[in-house]
Structure 1
Amino acid sequence: MKTVLIIIGATILIFIIKACMPSGQKPQPDTDTTRPSNEHLPKQEKPNDKLVIVDNISKTEMDSILNGFCNMYNKERFQAQPRLYKLNERQFAITFPFDIEFEIYCYFVNYVHYPMGFDKSFSVTGWETTKEANGWITEKSANKKVMLFIPEDDTEHDNVFLTTDNNIGYKLGFAMGEEKQLLQTPKKTYFAPTIDIKTLTEKEAQDFQ
């Protein structure tokens, strides 16, 4: 219950910040680095296949985005511990070796696309295999490989789109009652990641918390 309240509180905070900003001014990232004591830091990795690829972005921009997200979600509990891999000068891969709740994973994809403190968005795609217990997941999308993304024509800024590996599409809205909207056709056709997550272990990585 506490986790749910934290998620709801963080989401409401984002909307309040955006609503209170003067027109044309971008909300700034959370710079508060408050964290629980290290004794609460997860140390046992959990097998999962969550993978995010971000294109056309610099290392400096990537670091700023990941730090901003962790500042927002790790104040009271370590909910996001992304691991960053550099694929080339303008492309990065992110995994979650300690796993991350599905709802927060959706927020993560949205945040990377629409990061606070930036006047531009970034190309981001996430993949994972869903579970029936995941929030926002229905019988049509449970236990399937899925792709998460923000389409280029999005204007709402408070959602992510999901396509299953058998091309069932959903719009996952962050507002109450809009969490799982089945689409007649998916916004994008599913495609598998071009990178095998297992091969990333051979690369140098940077952990954020």
Structure 2
Amino acid sequence: MPSDSFILTDNTNEADIETVLSNLANLYAETGYTDGIMLHASNQKEGTFLVTFKQVPDFEHFAYFVNYINYPEGMSIWEGTVTGFYLVKPVDNTGYFKSGEWLQLYVSKTDTDFDNVSVSNAANESFLYDFGGNTMKLPHSEIIYSFPDFQESDFTLLKIINPA
């Protein structure tokens, strides 16, 4: 498994995810986090892709990226799933989350605001993180936290994407 934060997408195709990541790279170019977005294809499941970063984003930007891939600007929303796994760093100002903790980020199936992500931790606590920087603990978790069991060798690097 990757040693740092990553995003998994299912039920999409290479052309679409490459377009989305190129658009993401250009939109967030000034952050530096989109220099060297690595797109990998699963060797075992068609339509599954792994996204890793040469410049690992902070929590806030990682949340933006999960949301953007789920709701790609200028494209129809796809039927695929987008799930991010973020390793909390000491410099992250996340409030509820501890350094060294893995978080699972996703967009809720019931989301209608388009400007937030849901977050689960290994204790199956659930939170809503909005893009005003607010984190709210939720009374129940929509999903059960599930860290994927795979090796990077289960994926083949297709392309390294940089801002244009």
- TM-score band by shorter chain is 0.7 to 0.9
* TM-score of the two chains, using structure 2 as the length reference: 0.85
Q: CA RMSD in A?
A: 1.9
Deviations 1:115-151 (A, max 9, x none): 012222331001122124213x12x421211100011
Other-structure match for 1:141 = 97
Deviations 1:75-113 (A, max 9, x none): x35222310001143111111133122211110000000
Structure 1 contact 148–163 (Cα < 8 Å) conserved: yes
Higher helix share: 1
Structure 2 unaligned regions, length at least 5: none
* Stretch of structure 1 that moved more, 123-132 or 148-157: 123-132
Other-structure match for 1:6 = none
Q: How does 1:1-209 map to 2 (within 5 A)?
A: 48-74=3-29, 76-80=30-34, 81-87=36-42, 88-121=45-78, 122-135=80-93, 137-138=94-95, 140-143=96-99, 144-175=101-132, 179-196=134-151, 198-199=152-153, 203-209=156-162
Amino acid at match of 1:141: F
Number of equivalent positions: 156
Structure 1 unaligned regions, length at least 5: 1-46
Q: CA deviation at 1:194?
A: 3.1
**Seq. identity, %:** 24
* TM-score of the two chains, using structure 1 as the length reference: 0.68
Q: Secondary structure at the match of 1:182?
A: strand
Larger Rg: 1
